[in-house]
Structure 1
């Protein structure tokens, strides 16, 4: 039997049901997501894109509680590298999500940097590399966000390196961590996105363990990824090709990642995400059931 991963709290998210947007006809209704995530054996969920689940705290509390679920985090997208001019609209959006996250008893806000390439159309929106000034805006903006979210809502931000954003590769992630205050900014390590961008999750945990505040569990298909990299395929079309795959068929191996996280000696959420937008409505549940079974076999 594997060693019990007693510091790891496993959950899932709307992403594993093909949900990327607050409202999209190709996504499963939110009631079905909640029913099926509970049926698959998960106790924790993320809110997903704001507006997908009910935003009235009393109603959402009722919906999740009667299914035996709890909320681990909310999610926001930010473009703080654009400088102080974007702070007010950013804070308006963050405040909406943070207020609901706080009301649901969660303690984390997952912060995803804005995409430099559109995730639906693959249109290039900005250069993939930031200037020095933009890096300064990004790091100072994230520190400000971390401070204000904590002071106002009692939440900790965890910044999510993500494909087709400016925080993606090992070089970008380490530059970001080295330039930000550890007390204000932690990392949401997404094992799939980090592998997609060439990173080693175990190495990152062992090197920057004190900065890892949250995990997303995900794997990539190495053969599809090789073709994606060779041909410069954008992230959205890569997902439609199946680049994010069902564990344990891809990389990185999740057992060593979970073991490294357990050795940190702190409680961590590990939220399963398998990017599948768009997908057939009957596809997610069987995958979710098998993935939960696999993670139990790892001790989680």
Structure 2
């Protein structure tokens, strides 16, 4: 299991935002915290010139595990061209870093900054069909054109969120084309059990995001229907080991699979004070070592 972190753990959600730390500081601090692997984060946050990115990452002793894309494939064939243009841009940079994975996040049904509802929270049967066939096509095209594996990330305030929806998505997609990025925090946020998911769908697990939820804040978020963005601002995603799920059994269950896995720490903290992420990252890395990771 290869442990890393991501710009998300430094409060980075967007390519450019005045509330985020500069990318140079993120790279310096993630290396200082003891991580070897990073994700690219939102495209355009880190340098997009492959040579410069390679130099900046390499001279800090870091390596890239994955890039990230957002998709809205449930909207059908009409969005394919725009989707592929975006995916190709990120996939090309990801491949240039030597990474093998592309984390695919479904589009939000409400805006993660304004909390405005964009579309219905539930998909129709036709939209589910568009989503599953579209992801299979994406997996095939990304593999054939870039040699990368897509890992689909269930996420709060998207259509792949709860246990039933995650299972429906996995049951409806080809294992040879679509793998899962299990984010333990998002899955707990949406009521799912990460250990049970790994036991049931272990052969689909291609990637891990390690994250915890504060159960008290989550209870209030659920009770009052708080959108994900404001919930994060309240601190719903918390520093381990203070939340749920317990990461020790999740890591133990994943290690039983006997496969090579990335486990990337992602503590959603947008927005956060610039001096907050580094001490948390150092403590989190120490905690994960105590778990044998």
TM-score after normalising by structure 1: 0.98
| Residues 33-112 of structure 1 mapped to structure 2, 5 A cutoff | 33-112=26-105
Cα distance in 2, alignment partners of residues 61 and 255 from structure 1: 33
- Which residue pairs with 2:209 in the alignment? 216
Cα distance in 2, alignment partners of residues 78 and 70 from structure 1: 25
Cα distance in 2, alignment partners of residues 296 and 68 from structure 1: 19
- Which residue pairs with 1:247 in the alignment? 240
Cα distance in 2, alignment partners of residues 133 and 148 from structure 1: 22
Cα distance in 2, alignment partners of residues 13 and 112 from structure 1: 15
CA shift at 1:18, angstroms? Answer: 0.1
- Which residue pairs with 2:151 in the alignment? 158
2:206 alignment partner, SS class = strand
Out of 165, 168, 173, the position equivalent to 1:172 is 165
- Which residue pairs with 1:144 in the alignment? 137
Cα distance in 1, alignment partners of residues 260 and 211 from structure 2: 19
2:52 alignment partner, SS class = helix
CA shift at 1:178, angstroms? Answer: 0.2
1:119 alignment partner, SS class = coil
Cα distance in 2, alignment partners of residues 211 and 226 from structure 1: 30
Cα distance in 1, alignment partners of residues 134 and 203 from structure 2: 21
Out of 116, 128, 135, the position equivalent to 1:123 is 116
Cα distance in 1, alignment partners of residues 174 and 18 from structure 2: 41
Query: What is the number of residues matched between the two proteins?
Result: 293
Cα distance in 1, alignment partners of residues 269 and 162 from structure 2: 22
Cα distance in 1, alignment partners of residues 89 and 49 from structure 2: 11
* Deviant stretches of 4+, over 3 Å: none
Which ranges of structure 2 fall in alignment gaps of 5 or more residues? none
CA shift at 1:203, angstroms? Answer: 0.2
1:208 alignment partner, SS class = helix
2:85 alignment partner, SS class = helix
CA shift at 1:191, angstroms? Answer: 0.0
CA shift at 1:262, angstroms? Answer: 0.1
What is the root-mean-square deviation of aligned Cα atoms in Å?
A: 0.2
CA shift at 1:16, angstroms? Answer: 0.1
Cα distance in 2, alignment partners of residues 47 and 68 from structure 1: 15
2:161 alignment partner, SS class = coil
In the alignment, does 2:275 pair up with 1:282? yes
CA shift at 1:199, angstroms? Answer: 0.1
In the alignment, does 2:255 pair up with 1:267? no
